[in-house]
């Protein structure tokens, strides 16, 4: 499908933005304070005019006390000459944005959250301690990123216990005037294995759909779009944003509580043959690690735009590019705006960004600072 046929399909579906969504939830990876050059993003670099919420990623779970704990005390706290980023971050509330604390994430795993959620006593302790922790540092709410109930060593009982945990958290946080949302996996079938959607919905203020990483070098041996908006032409697939949104709505979630995921990074491959560089091209593994993010198979958007690519192709609401034996699937400003327009036309609450430090925050590439975040806002009708 060419760029113009993708646009035509978009128009035929009636997906031209006529209104605006309400939420732009911006995760900030606090580890960006340790990076150099264009990769360094401090709290002071966060543009609060382009976010309605900002989420500090991440805090963790102390298993012994069923309480929230800092995962990087030097970076997070002021004690022992620390950088005190919790307090700097929550001070952003003075600029009109809502600062939230993200708890969990991939590296935290699932097992200890499964254990904590398994009894009424431990759920209650966690909720009580969460309120105290948030109030101590000035956070206005909690973003729970348990990845994932019932998976990665968790229990089959997690699906039910997750509802009970959210019920407890929602009540305690609401009583304290604090908000509460969850991030959920987006792969097909997780509403059956991990999330009891109708039971969950009353106890969350929003749901961040992690609608990306449908394809990665760790799972695929052919090039594929990481976060396509729609399935490939004439193919039936659940590996796209629209399928995830429809699955959650069909399972009982109101569209107005859902947010699509906006990835500010790309997934990369090393091609088996540089002359075969379209979709479904054979690969030998992950792409070369970026100079700043230093993870094979992944590039931040600023690393993508700093590189020279032979060609960039837009297909199925996603961009991909190639050069030599390197291939990357990512959102560029055009497809990011399209994602925002999609969220509006589906009546969604908006979008959440993973994560803002991966944008071209310092205009390194010459296209203006924060091109992805600006384009998403435009698509959402907020600019």
**Is 2 among the domain residues?**
no
Instruction: Report the chain's mean pLDDT, rounded to a whole number.
Output: 94
pLDDT tens per residue, range 79-106: 999 999 999 999 999 999 999 999 999 9
**274 burial class (0-12, 13-18, 19+ CB within 10 angstroms)?**
middle
Q: Domain count for the chain, please give it.
A: 1
**Is 306 among the domain residues?**
no
**Is 133 among the domain residues?**
yes
**Is 272 among the domain residues?**
no
* DSSP secondary structure letters along 1-52: --HHHHHHHHHHTT----S--SEEEEEEEGGGGG--GGG---GGG--GGG-S
pLDDT of residue 8: 35
- Distance between first and last Cα of the chain: 29
**Is 294 among the domain residues?**
no
pLDDT of residue 234: 61
pLDDT of residue 146: 98
List the domain range (segments joined by +) for residue 347.
Answer: 16-264+331-379
Question: Rounded to the nearest 10 degrees, what angle do helices 333-345 and 241-250 cross at?
Answer: 20
**Is 150 among the domain residues?**
yes
Alpha-carbon distance values, 88 to 50, 129, 230 (Å): 18, 22, 39
**Is 89 among the domain residues?**
yes
pLDDT tens per residue, range 13-38: 444 444 777 999 999 999 999 999 99
Percent of the chain with pLDDT over 70: 95
The CATH code of the domain that includes 82 is 3.20.20.80
**Is 273 among the domain residues?**
no
């Amino acid at each position: 499908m060419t760029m113009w046929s993708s646009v035509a399909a978009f128009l035929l579906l009636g997906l031209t933005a006529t209104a605006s969504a309400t939420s732009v939830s911006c995760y900030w990876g606090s580890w960006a304070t340790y990076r150099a050059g264009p990769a360094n993003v401090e709290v002071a670099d966060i543009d609060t005019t382009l976010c309605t919420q900002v989420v500090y990623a991440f805090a963790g779970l102390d298993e012994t006390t069923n309480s929230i704990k800092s995962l990087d005390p030097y970076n997070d706290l002021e004690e022992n000459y620390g950088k005190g980023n919790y307090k700097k971050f929550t001070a952003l509330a003075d600029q009109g944005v809502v600062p939230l604390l993200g708890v969990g994430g991939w590296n935290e795993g699932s097992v200890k959250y499964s254990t904590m959620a398994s009894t009424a006593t431990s759920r209650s302790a966690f909720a009580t301690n969460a309120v105290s922790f948030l109030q101590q540092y000035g956070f206005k709410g909690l973003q729970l990123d348990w990845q994932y109930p019932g998976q990665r060593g968790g229990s089959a009982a997690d699906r039910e216990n997750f509802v009970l945990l959210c019920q407890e958290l929602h009540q305690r946080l609401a009583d304290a005037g604090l908000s509460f949302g969850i991030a959920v996996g987006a792969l097909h079938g997780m509403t059956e294995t991990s999330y009891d959607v109708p039971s969950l919905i009353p106890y969350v203020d929003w749901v961040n759909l992690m609608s990306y990483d449908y394809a990665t070098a760790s799972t695929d041996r052919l090039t594929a779009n990481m976060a396509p908006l729609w399935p490939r032409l004439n193919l039936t697939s659940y590996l796209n944003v629209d399928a995830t949104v429809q699955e959650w709505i069909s399972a009982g979630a109101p569209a107005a509580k859902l947010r699509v995921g906006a990835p500010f990074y790309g997934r990369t491959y090393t091609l088996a043959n540089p002359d075969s560089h379209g979709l479904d091209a054979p690969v030998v593994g992950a792409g070369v690690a970026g100079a700043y993010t230093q993870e094979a198979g992944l590039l931040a958007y600023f690393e993508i735009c700093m590189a020279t690519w032979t060609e960039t192709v837009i297909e199925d609401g996603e961009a991909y590019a190639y050069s030599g034996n390197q291939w990357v699937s990512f959102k560029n400003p055009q497809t990011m705006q399209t994602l925002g327009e999609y969220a509006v036309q589906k009546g969604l609450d908006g979008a959440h960004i993973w994560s803002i430090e991966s944008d071209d925050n310092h205009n390194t590439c010459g296209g203006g600072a924060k091109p992805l975040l600006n384009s998403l806002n435009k698509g959402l009708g907020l600019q």
